[in-house]
Amino acid sequence: MRTVDELIAEGVRGKRVFLRADLNVPLDDTTGERIITDDGRIRASLPTLQALRDAGARVVVAAHLGRPKGAPDDRYSLAPVAARLAELLEVPVPLAADTAGPGAQAAVAALSDGDVCLLENVRFEAAETSKDDDARGALADRFAALADLFVDDAFGAVHRRHASVYDVATRLPHAAGRLVARELEVLTRLTGEPERPYVVVLGGSKVSDKLAVIESLLPTVDKLLVGGGMCFTFLAAQGHGVGDSLLEADQVDTCRRLLADAGDKIVLPVDVVCAEALVADAQVKVVPVQSIPDGLKGLDVGPHTVELFAGHLADAHTVFWNGPMGVFELAPFTHGTRGVAQAVAAVVGLSVVGGGDSAAAVRQLGLDEDAYGHISTGGGASLEFLEGRELPGLAVLADGAA
């Protein structure tokens, strides 16, 4: 797989580089303004972007934001992203009036060496996410007409067979950006011969979302620590009542089988934080997992669980964490995620935060990002990589035919 640094070494001055970035940031629009609440993904895109600028490339950035329905929608415009990118780069970053039409063509034509423009949300084009190869190919042709080279730095999208991720790479000489190369390097260490003990922490709401990665990881990990809403289906499989907690009844038998097959590796909570409702001023009650009252929801792991999980993490030399331990967005339920995050940060060895809500939690809780070995930008992509699935965006980069 050719890297962007190899591309730069070959010479990119004056060339138009179509840079697919992952700028899918969370926005708060409650005040009527669309305010970015976490610019981590934008900042993660800067090393590749700045390297191309410094080498004199004319950088055409493409990205998606949210899930528009294949047509322009002001709620999903990349305008706030263009503004933040301009602040971070300290140069103007004009936003094209469209994605791949006359507005994009005009924005690209106006670029000089070292300049940057941002195309409007690629998902404003229905063909971007189409399952029809011809439709995606036609859009990829329009993208390719805007550039001479293609660089993919959007690790969070490499598991998607989308026009701006996959198809355009078949039409232009291509390379992996620095972020993608780093993600690949770190995750390969997890799937190769990780230094042991190797501990994985999984959270999030549903077992069904993580079942494939659990099945894939259990033969290789030393311990699998399970928190978040998904733990209640495992607790139900052990015969515990879970009150009004999140429960996937159709997955109870699957969890029972996993516990029977690998119960010595799976570590479940011993206490949970419960409340009647998911509200910021909730009255909470910490109870053992054997005694969750009817009418209460488990919304975070309890202090004894944090201590238990931290004990397993203290001896680990390799850790992968994906998914919060509770509803960390609300103050009464932050403690479990904070405690586990701090224990992961203290690991002497490789600690990997697997993107998505876990990365957001690190930043929202004010934790030191530098304390972790690597914070992935792609939650879904990192999980699929660990499952051993082929990721289309990586597979096409490894093909040197274009």
Pick out the residues of the known binding site for ATP: 210, 298, 329, 355-358
Q: Are 170 and 396 in contact (CB under 8 A)?
A: yes
User: Which residue ranges are tagged as binding site for (2R)-3-phosphoglycerate?
Assistant: 41, 123, 160
Write phi, then psi, for 19 (nearest 5 degrees).
-105, 110
- Mapped onto helix, strand or coil, the DSSP state of residue 317 is coil
Among 196, 206, 256, 389, the active-site one is 206
Query: Among candidates 375, 305, 357, which has minimal Cα distance to 336?
Result: 305
Write phi, then psi, for 304 (nearest 5 degrees).
-70, -30
Residue 353: how many CB atoms within 10 A of its CB?
27
Active site residue 356: yes
Q: Are 24 and 64 in contact (CB under 8 A)?
A: yes
Active site residue 206: yes
**Alpha helix positions (H), 58-195:** 79-89, 102-109, 133-144, 178-191
Among 204, 228, 302, 380, the active-site one is 380
Question: What tokens were used for 20?
Answer: 């697919």
Q: Are 402 and 174 in contact (CB under 8 A)?
A: yes
Alpha carbon distances (Å) from 214 to 230, 266, 353:
12, 10, 16
User: Which residue ranges are tagged as binding site?
Assistant: 22-24, 41, 64-67, 123, 160, 210, 298, 329, 355-358
Type and span of the H or E element at 374: strand 374-375
Q: Are 355 and 129 in contact (CB under 8 A)?
A: no
Among 20, 41, 161, 265, the active-site one is 41
CA 97 from chain center: how many Å? 28
CA 191 from chain center: how many Å? 18
Active site residue 41: yes
Query: Among candidates 10, 80, 95, 86, which has minimal Cα distance to 52?
Result: 10
User: Which residue ranges are tagged as binding site for substrate?
Assistant: 22-24, 41, 64-67, 123, 160
Active-site residues, by number, are 41, 206, 356, 380
